[in-house]
Every structure is written in C-alpha cells, then in structure tokens.
Structure 1
Amino acid sequence: MILYLHGFRSSPQSMKARLMGERMAGLGRSADYLCPQLPASPRLAMELALSLVDGVPAGELAVVGSSLGGYYATWLAERLGCRAVLLNPAIVPRQDLQKHVGVTTQYHSDAPFEFKPEYIDELRALDVARISQPGRYFLIAATGDEVLDYRDMVAHYQGARQHVIQGSDHGISEFADYIDEVLAFCGIGAGGPR
C-alpha cells in the first residue's frame, strides 16, 4: 500500500501524484494506491492520513511525500514504523510557510485555500528532530530546487538512502525517470511485492 501526500496548495492532480497513480494502475495495483486531497490544516491532514491507513501493517505500507507532504510523510513514518520516500521534502515548514498565512487558491484549481495562523503551531507539533531508523527512508533531492535547499534535506536524512539529482527543480520535472526506483523502495514492482 502506498499513501501519496502532495505538497502545500497542491492536490492529487499534481504531476507526480498522477504519474504514480498511472504507474500503479499499469501494474494492476490501483487498489494499493491512495492519494487524498489534504486539508490545509496540518492536524486534519494527519488525522485523514492516519484514518486511511488504519489497520495496514507497517511492513505493507509506504508513504511518499512531496515538499510539505514529505514533512508529513516523515511524521507518519516515525509514528507508524513504515517506509517513506521523500521528494524535495520541507524540513522546517513552519518557517517557510509563515509568509503564506491567508487566503489564496490551490495550484490545480480555483478552489480557495486558506492557511490560518494556528496552522503554524500545528506544523510545529509534527516536527521530527531526527529520524530514528534511516534505513526506512529514501530521499530524492534536487540541487536545482528553487523553493527549498537540498542541503538541508541531505543533512536531515543523514544515513538514509539518498538520490541527489544535479539540477532539476522543486517539482522534479523528470519524476517519471525515478518512479520505478521509488516503487521498488516501497516494495512494489513489475514482479509484485518484494
């Protein structure tokens, strides 16, 4: 089972989420792929995520998170003991997102998106100062990320499997090139679970 968590103001319509869904469908594993629309509230986002994977054994679960979704994926992996793949993850989003408090729209629609001041404290409650078992993590970080500094990611996930892409961007435009590597880490491939 893969739970994909999109980034800030993003959605299941993001390029990476769609590519993952298409690849899982191509493997006949659509039922093992979840990608919910996350609420703006970090607390509610994590309550939703936990409810979706309730009862799934940690060994059968992997969380893939992009940007803010990577921050969430880290918290979930620590709480549940599952694997996590982090795609240009946010490391200290409460600092980065302070300037985004207010009402705007989602990236993939005109739907309103309100990020309230109290969400900063909700983010703080999800901080993971240090990952406990680096072997459960796979970081994909791009040196060309225009939003977040890849060096912070590399330092935070020290000891984890890491793939540092020279160049690229925050969205990892060539993500299709890495899907099979991500799925293999999650225990899914053309031959099924490993």
Structure 2
Amino acid sequence: MAMPLFIYLHGFNSSPDSIKARQFQAAMTAAGRADDVLVPALSHWPAEAIAQTEALIRQHQGRDITLIGSSLGGYYSLWLGERYQVRAVLVNPAVRPYELLAEMLGQQSNLYTGEAYTLTEQHLQQMLAIDVPSLSQPQNYLLLTQTDDETLDYRQAVDKLTDSPMLIQQGGDHGFRQFEAMIPAILAFSEGRVELPEVPGLPSVDS
C-alpha cells in the first residue's frame, strides 16, 4: 500500500525555500520518503495557486493525500480539503486573508525569489471566492497554532476549527517556533491518528 502523499502549501510572499518546507522535506528525506512530499511554488494569484494544487491532487488521485498549509497556504488548504475531502494540517493559518491583506495593496516582493508584483483588489476577490463558511468534516483538519503570532490573531483559527483537533501553544511566532517537533504529529495525522506532543518552553493551552 502506498504511503500518504504530502503537499505543502507555503504562505504569502513565501516559496518552497521557506524554513518549514525545508525542515519537513529534510525529515522526510531522512526517513527515506523524499518522493512522498510535493512543495509547489505557488502563484501570487490565489486562483492560480488553487489550480496548481488541484492539478497535483488530480495527478495523484487514488493516493491518500494530506495537505500542510502555512498561513495563506492554510487558507487554501481549507477550501481544497472541503472540495477533495483530504486531510489538512494548518500551521498558523490565515482565516480571513482578504481582510488582513487589504491594508497591503500595492507593490509586493516575494521574500525568497525577489519576484515583484502588485497586490490588487482582484487578489482579494479571488481569496474571498474560496472562503469556507463551515467545515463539513472538521475531523479532517489538524490546527497547529501559537498565541504570539505577530501577523495573525490565532483566535480566529481556533474559532473556525473549534470542532477539529488542535494544538495551541503559548508563545511562539508566525513562523511557528520548533516546527520540527510537530513533524511526528503531522505524520500520525496523515494516517488518521491524533498524537500531539508537548514542546519544552512552549506549553500547550487548553482550547
């Protein structure tokens, strides 16, 4: 039987070279599972990013797929999870990015690639078009969030995923400190198990 396939979706102005993406790929490579991870370079256009990921899901139809979505990638993962009924691990996910990014319209540059583009109202409309009002299968989602996220209000994700398994850690940051410690939990979740670790220095918060 084929092992689960992971598709990692990076966040806003990020890339496959992001720290968490590289950490996850390194862990999977060390486990002899490098071929079980896909990390697409997502377009800054939300509709194109969704289409890119849908193509990968369809290409691997028949395999057990788990999405790992960071920040804006977490928002995408909610829509994709609902459409394709696949599991998704959401790492400090954006819940209403069309509101958050409304204050950042104008010139942007990808932090990793240097690609320059203009963030427009059309970007926000494409995000709003894939908003998920409610979750049909909340058990398909695992929320990993830290309370000191300087970019997003973690409580929005907690409220959105109130019926899903979650790990809320006191402290941390938007990049999700000590992400490597979460990888065993991500692997377990891809196989239908919820095994949430305790991380020294980042105590869990009751949800």
TM beyond 0.5? yes
Is 1:35 the counterpart of 2:39 in the alignment? yes
Cα deviation digits, residues 79-136 of structure 1 (max 9, x gap): 0000000001000110001122222211123222432221111001110011111110
Contact 1:58 1:80 in 2 (8 A): no
Q: Which sections of structure 2, spanning at least 5 residues, go unmatched?
A: 193-207
Secondary structure, counterpart of 1:176 in structure 2: helix
Q: How does 1:37-186 map to 2 (within 5 A)?
A: 37-57=41-61, 60-186=64-190
Q: What corresponds to 2:27 in structure 1?
A: 23
Give, in whole Å, the separation in 2 of the partners of 1:28 and 1:64: 19
Secondary structure, counterpart of 2:143 in structure 1: strand
Q: Which sections of structure 1, spanning at least 5 residues, go unmatched?
A: 189-194
Could you tell me the TM-score, scaled by structure 2's length? 0.87
Give, in whole Å, the separation in 2 of the partners of 1:125 and 1:131: 16
- Paired AA for residue 36 in structure 1: P
Deviation at 1:55, TM superposition (A): 4.2
Contact 1:58 1:81 in 2 (8 A): no
Q: What corresponds to 2:14 in structure 1?
A: 10
56-65 vs 99-108, which moves further: 56-65
Size of the aligned set, in residue pairs, is 188
111-120 vs 155-164, which moves further: 111-120
Identity %: 37
Give, in whole Å, the separation in 2 of the partners of 1:63 and 1:133: 15
Could you tell me the TM-score, scaled by structure 1's length? 0.92
Give, in whole Å, the separation in 1 of the partners of 2:76 and 2:13: 14
The alpha-carbon distance between structure 1 residues 130 and 59, as it changes in their structure 2 partners (threshold 3 A), is: farther
Give, in whole Å, the separation in 1 of the partners of 2:85 and 2:99: 27
Give, in whole Å, the separation in 2 of the partners of 1:31 and 1:89: 25
Deviation at 1:43, TM superposition (A): 0.2
Cα deviation digits, residues 13-58 of structure 1 (max 9, x gap): 1110000111111111111100011101000000000111214347
Q: What corresponds to 2:195 in structure 1?
A: none
